[in-house]
Structure 1
Amino acid sequence: MSELPNFDRRRDRFDFFDRMQSPAVNLCFRMDLPDFRPWCKEQDLAPFHVLLCAVLRAVLKVENFRYRVHEGEVIRIERLHPSFTVVNQHFDLNLAQFDWSDDVREFVARGQAAREEAGNMLALNAHYLRMSPRDAKDQVFVTCMPWLDFTSIQHPMASLATPDIPSLAWGKFTNEPDGGLQLPFSVQAHHGFVDGYHIHLLAQQIAAELEAIMRA
């Protein structure tokens, strides 16, 4: 019996898109979220890192975002290694990474420490560059541009033919009249794994994870 029965149902879709020069789907939309910032202020937790926690928890719960290609075979990752972009003191990009924690406070603390460490580096983070090809699959690429209310984005890829690690980005928060929150959110993923419906599920799950974090 196959270890990936859900993927096997769409293997023909994967084969169809994977033959294309660029099999990526790239969708940018305005995502509705509960306004979790007052809760973060009460708990003395950084909103970016709380949202990162919710996003990565959601990725693990929407199975299609857990598929990867390794050594020519489709695999399903069972964990995530959190990483995200930061800017250093010279406003050059660097890459922060840290070990996962199920506890939101520990997750945030580790993320902030990783941000501080990567932000103080002049060269590109050597720890990140030393990841093995297999370990690199246990992540999603995350970037945040809080200054911009962007409407589209194109993420870099090692090759147009290999967009199997999803790339996620979000931008400037906007207050909604009903007390909610909106922000531009971008998802880039392999279309053989992810359709628009799965991106919709991811957005719903992110909001649900934030609600769960605030209730805990």
Structure 2
Amino acid sequence: MNNFEQRRDRFDLFNAMESPAVNLSFTMELPDFRPWCKAQGLPPFHVLLYAISNAILKIENFRYRVFEGEVICIDRLIPSYTVVNKNKDLNFAQFAWSDDLLEFVARSIAARDHAEAMTELNDTYHAMSPREWKDQVFVTCMPWLDLTAIEHPMASVSSPDIPALAWGRFRDGPDGRLLVPFSVQAHHGFVDGYHIHLLAQQIAAELSAIMQG
């Protein structure tokens, strides 16, 4: 938490505002990991989710949360993302973390299938304790859209401390790269544009490491 104390004055500044959220949308450049996924028989969404989740854990600013009026730093994640069910309605998939890529993907797929098959809202998050709630990162993917911007709903406008990430349709980039429209919403008391830049770099590094084995 020493790093946070160095920016506590920034936190106090933004946290006193009616909405301290920062929203930034940009085109993220990644190594094209889709051929690797195809060769391994792994769905790209779940591999990217794994890379993003690991990147978040490696950048401390994305692990800060507000709990019972105090700033804490989480050390684990509970992945949570949106799916579309058979009625074309939104639902939520949530699963327990695993450090192992194959196990992470398997759990993610099982959570997706469960949420997609439900007609009612998957409200398993209601069983979480207030502290467990803070271990989440919210994710949504809209592969049909060339995403340019998004604003996520928040339980409390005054406390957007759980980051919300979104991405849209993949596009081929130059030199075998992949272009991904990407959006980050976070508490500006914790995260600046520079940290979002670091997150994008770390996601690319995580994917490169995955492909290199």
Give the TM-score, by structure 2 length: 0.99
- Report the residue type matching 1:51 in the other structure: L
CA distance in 2, matches of 1:174, 1:129: 37
CA distance in 2, matches of 1:88, 1:129: 20
- Counterpart position of 2:28: 31
- Counterpart position of 2:173: 176
CA distance in 2, matches of 1:130, 1:85: 18
Whether 1:92 and 2:86 are equivalent positions in the alignment is: no
- Counterpart position of 1:133: 130
Q: How many aligned positions are there?
A: 213
- Counterpart position of 2:154: 157
| Aligned with 1:52 (options 31, 49, 53) | 49
Structure 2: stretches of 5+ with no match in the other structure: none
| Aligned with 2:139 (options 139, 142, 152) | 142
- Report the residue type matching 1:210 in the other structure: L
- 1:31-66 CA deviation, whole Å, 9 max, x = no partner? 000000000000000100000000000000010000
Using the TM superposition, name which of 48-57 and 92-101 deviates more: 92-101
CA distance in 1, matches of 2:123, 2:165: 22
- Contact in 2 for aligned 1:95/1:128 (Cα 8 Å): no
| Aligned with 1:113 (options 102, 106, 110) | 110
CA distance in 1, matches of 2:173, 2:76: 34
Q: SS at the partner of 1:143?
A: strand
1:166, CA displacement in angstroms? Answer: 0.3
CA distance in 1, matches of 2:74, 2:181: 27
- Counterpart position of 2:207: 210
Report % sequence identity: 70
Q: CA RMSD in A?
A: 0.7
- Report the residue type matching 1:39 in the other structure: W
CA distance in 1, matches of 2:79, 2:137: 8
1:160, CA displacement in angstroms? Answer: 1.1
Structure 1: stretches of 5+ with no match in the other structure: none
CA distance in 2, matches of 1:162, 1:203: 24
1:128, CA displacement in angstroms? Answer: 2.0
CA distance in 2, matches of 1:179, 1:212: 16
